Amino acid sequence: MKSIRRGQHLITVLLLLFLAGFGFLIYKLQTESKFYISHASNASLGKVYDRKGEVLYDPNATAEEYGADYFLDVGNLIGDDSKQMTNTLVAQNKDLLANFSFMLGEQHDGRAAVGTTLDHTVNRRVYDSFGSKNGCAVAYNYMTGEIYVCTSKPNVNVLDHYANISELPEGALLCSVFYPTVPGSTQKISTTLAALEHMGYDALMSKSFDCLGAYQNLGGQEIRCHKSAGHGTQGIMDAFANSCNPWFAQLVEDPSWTLEDIEETYRAMGYRLNGEGEQGYFDVNGISAYTASTTLTDKNDFSTQWGCMGQGTTLVSPLQLMVWQSAIANQTGVSTMPYLIDHAVSVAGKDLPRTMTTYGEKMFTPDSAAHMREIMLSNGRTRYADVLPGSDVAVKSGTAQIGEEKTENSLLTGFVDDQSFPVAFCIVIENRVGGVITTNQIASTMLSELRAALDVSA
């Protein structure tokens, strides 16, 4: 009988194991059901709103109700559930938007919704300000992480339902704010930060190099300046403001620091160096934004020096350029992570917890951040005072040569040095030559509109 009882015990164990597995399955289904339903082809979704309650996405939107191009400025950012675009707010947050609960199943009259941090009116103004040019602009609160403006051109009108998808301009389905571009001289912020970290402020301020319009580096290669007559003898303040390539080539070659020093700061800032490891991304409410990458092999070599000046293989997303500004503006060396979703509402209409501000890892010291801030503010005061009258704006501009045709993109990144209006930004105009609009003008439009929209007095 003892052996029979053991057989009974075996049966009991088997049944208990199954029951445990079944219990776990029920828990899993209960907790992950929103994720599953978000993958359904015709899930009932709620609306997305901007910070003032304007609709940014409506699954049942029509041109008659909203106007033919109402969503044009946010088409490839907010997106829709058509699966034509995957790296968009709607595509990545269908679980939040799903009018669904496991208890009640699908609720076609549910109240699920997402409230974003965007200001649609300002966003649209910025989009329109590009005129005939393509490019992108992004701005956020460098203290809290709220993204106020995020738009790119060309864009897609989701109300067209992709009827003309084959005729859409290249890149219309991607919000270029999140994708890498050649940063041009805005890269000199990273290189200057590396110098501040490893040489120290005093040593860097004491550096003085000549620019004669071109410089033959220690590798025997020539680095040309955009000013063919040269800038003469300069210190860091002038060289940074002038975006002088020969000066920065000599800074990179300077014997007082090593290639490893530059690599260390670049890595801390999130650069992927020399193709090592996997391409990195950082997350903005499910949207993947590319992290920076470059090649650093020999500091006396042209390609490394060229990379430190934002050309060659160096690639940075406009969002990343903007996020670095927060670490400088806050004088902490730590980035404030950007976010688009302010809050969500459940299917039953209950407000879900609001998004909290998060921070990245430490990239450089607060001292370096503070000194970098001074250098950028100096540049802003002397050359970009008209960007936002009444406020100090710290900036760095850049011109990036793109492709074999060497078309030039114009970039501007920086921040407003004002605690009541703490906004960092980045603007890119593609193929700037022949255009009537400049990054300064877009920055001016964006910041002044934003200041008015946020009800901040000058």
Partner 1 sequence: MLKNGLNYGGVITLLLLTHLSMLGIVLVRGNYQAPQDLLYLALAVLGLDLIGIIAAAIYRQMTYTLDIMLLGILNMSLIFQSCFGGVKLDIKHLITCVAAMVACEIGFLLTRNHEWIRKQKKYIYIIIGILILAILTLTGGRSMWITFKSFSIQPSEFIKPCFVLICAASIVELHKKIKVLFFYVSIDTLCLLAMTVVIFGLQWWCRDLGSLPTFAAIFGCALVCRLCYPRAKINKTAIAAMCVGGVLLAMVAWMLAPAYVQERLHADIWADPYGTGYQQCQALIGVARGGWLGVGAGHGRLAGVFAHESDIVFCTICEEWGLLYAGLTVVMILIMLTTVLMNPPKSYYHATMTAGVVAAFVAQMALNIFGSCNLIPFTGVTLPFISEGGSSMVTCGFLVGMLKAGQSPLFHHEVLRRKQAKKQKQGASAQNGKVSA
Residue 26 touching partner 1 (CB under 8 A) = yes
CB of 82 vs partner 1, minimal distance in Å: 15
Residue 27 touching partner 1 (CB under 8 A) = no
Task: Quote the distance between the C-alpha of residue 46 and its chain's center.
Answer: 26
Residue 68 touching partner 1 (CB under 8 A) = no
Residue 40 touching partner 1 (CB under 8 A) = yes
Residue 20 touching partner 1 (CB under 8 A) = no
Query: Quick one: which of 103, 163, 229, 356 contacts partner 1 (CB under 8 A)?
Result: 103
CB of 345 vs partner 1, minimal distance in Å: 20
Nearer to partner 1, 7 or 255 (CB): 7
Determine the straight-line distance between the first and last CA of the chain, rounded to whole angstroms.
91
Residue 8 touching partner 1 (CB under 8 A) = yes
Residue 17 touching partner 1 (CB under 8 A) = yes
Query: Quick one: which of 53, 105, 220, 403 contacts partner 1 (CB under 8 A)?
Result: 105
CB of 321 vs partner 1, minimal distance in Å: 31
Q: Number of residues in contact with partner 1, rule: CB under 8 A?
A: 36
Nearer to partner 1, 30 or 206 (CB): 30
Considering only residues 231 to 250 of the shown chain, the ones binding partner 1 according to CB under 8 A are: none
Residue 385 touching partner 1 (CB under 8 A) = no
CB of 209 vs partner 1, minimal distance in Å: 51
Query: Quick one: which of 59, 69, 101, 201 contacts partner 1 (CB under 8 A)?
Result: 101
Nearer to partner 1, 4 or 356 (CB): 4
Stretch binding partner 1 (CB under 8 A), from 50-58, 101-109, 216-224, 324-332? 101-109
Q: What is the contact surface with partner 1 in residues (CB under 8 A)?
A: 2-8, 10-12, 14-15, 17-19, 21-22, 24-26, 28-29, 32-34, 36-37, 39-40, 100-106
